[in-house]
Amino acid sequence: MSEAAATADTAAAHAPAASHGHAPAPGGNLWDGGVRPLGAHSKKFGMWLFIVSDSITFAALLFAYSYVRLSNVWPTPFHGHSIVTSTAMTFVLLSSSLTMVLAVDAANKKLRDKAVLWTMLTALGGLIFVVLHTMEWLGIINDHLMPLIKAGEETKSGWTMPMVWGTFFAATGMHMLHVTVGVGYLVVLALQYKNGKFKAIDIEVAGLYWHFVDLVWMFVFPLIYLMSAKI
């Protein structure tokens, strides 16, 4: 098997590598590079590597938050309104993950228009999430609950701590950045997929990114919001 064929870049490369019956592919066994030991498209593997590094980044942020929380007296600043908003945001994000699955499914079945529609709906879900989250942020900012505030300073809502809002804005801001980038990614992808520039595998890879953003929120939401809820 030639080098090019061994690293075949097509989505259909899950098929047996050779027609030599049961024997390993020409080029040898698992360790000779003649087979596809991971059975995945190179783009997919690349996105997974990005997800691995990004998940460690988010983990570091959440561990840092947990560390300062553990070593300080921590307030519970999120009341009913914040919890309802963030729950709605969670539902929107989860539902946009479902539409992303539908987009990948449609793309794999070569239903191009349907795939474009579902991808755009996913982007819309992300947009709603960003808008809701921005409203949530503005409420906090209007109350002068900022990272650089002096510890113990009085605000409309009583005393505050810089660490609380430093970690809050760092973790949710990093996540919001990912959602915003994701919305742009999905819109560009959907438009170019419509033009025939991208293939089903590209939708699938974008889907991996989108589900990962969803996955991160599944940790940010309980740890930041629900652990500091005062209802």
Subset of residues 54 to 83 that bind other proteins, contact rule: CB under 8 A: 55-56, 59-60, 63, 66-68, 70-79, 83
Q: Which of 14, 138, 177, 181 binds other proteins (CB under 8 A)?
A: 14
Q: How far is the CB of 60 from other proteins (least distance, A)?
A: 7
Q: How far is the CB of 155 from other proteins (least distance, A)?
A: 8
Q: How far is the CB of 164 from other proteins (least distance, A)?
A: 8
156 binding other proteins? (CB under 8 A): yes
* Rounded Cα gap, residues 195 and 193, in angstroms: 5
Residues contacting 147, CB < 8 A, separation 6+: 162, 165, 166, 169, 170
Q: Identify the residue whose tokens are 């992808």.
A: 189
Residues 17-36 that bind other proteins (CB under 8 A): 17, 24-25, 29-31, 35-36
111 binding other proteins? (CB under 8 A): no
| 56 CA to centre of own chain | 13
Q: Running DSSP on this structure, what letter comes out for residue 224?
A: I
CB neighbours of residue 51 within 10 Å: 17
Residue type, 192: Q
* Dihedral Cα 172, 50, 184, 145, nearest 10 deg: 10
Query: Pattern of binders to other proteins over 166-195, x per CB under 8 A?
Result: ------------------------------
105 binding other proteins? (CB under 8 A): yes
Q: Which of 1, 6, 8, 40 binds other proteins (CB under 8 A)?
A: 40
**Which residues in the chain belong to E strands, given as ranges?**
154-155, 158-159
Is there a contact between 223 and 62 (Cβ–Cβ < 8 Å)?
yes
Q: How far is the CB of 214 from other proteins (least distance, A)?
A: 6
| Cβ-based nearer residue to other proteins, 49 or 197 | 49
Residues contacting 217, CB < 8 A, separation 6+: 89, 90, 93, 175
Query: Pattern of binders to other proteins over 191-230, x per CB under 8 A?
Result: -------------x--xx--xx-xx--xx-xxx-xxxxxx
Query: How far from each other are the two terminal CA atoms of the chain, in whole angstroms?
Result: 65
Question: Which region among 95-103, 119-127, 173-181, 193-201 touches other proteins (by CB under 8 A)?
Answer: 95-103
Q: Identify the residue whose tokens are 């960003």.
A: 130
| Cβ-based nearer residue to other proteins, 54 or 194 | 54
Q: Which of 7, 10, 87, 134 binds other proteins (CB under 8 A)?
A: 87
Q: How far is the CB of 75 from other proteins (least distance, A)?
A: 4
**Which residues in 22-165 belong to E strands, given as ranges?**
154-155, 158-159
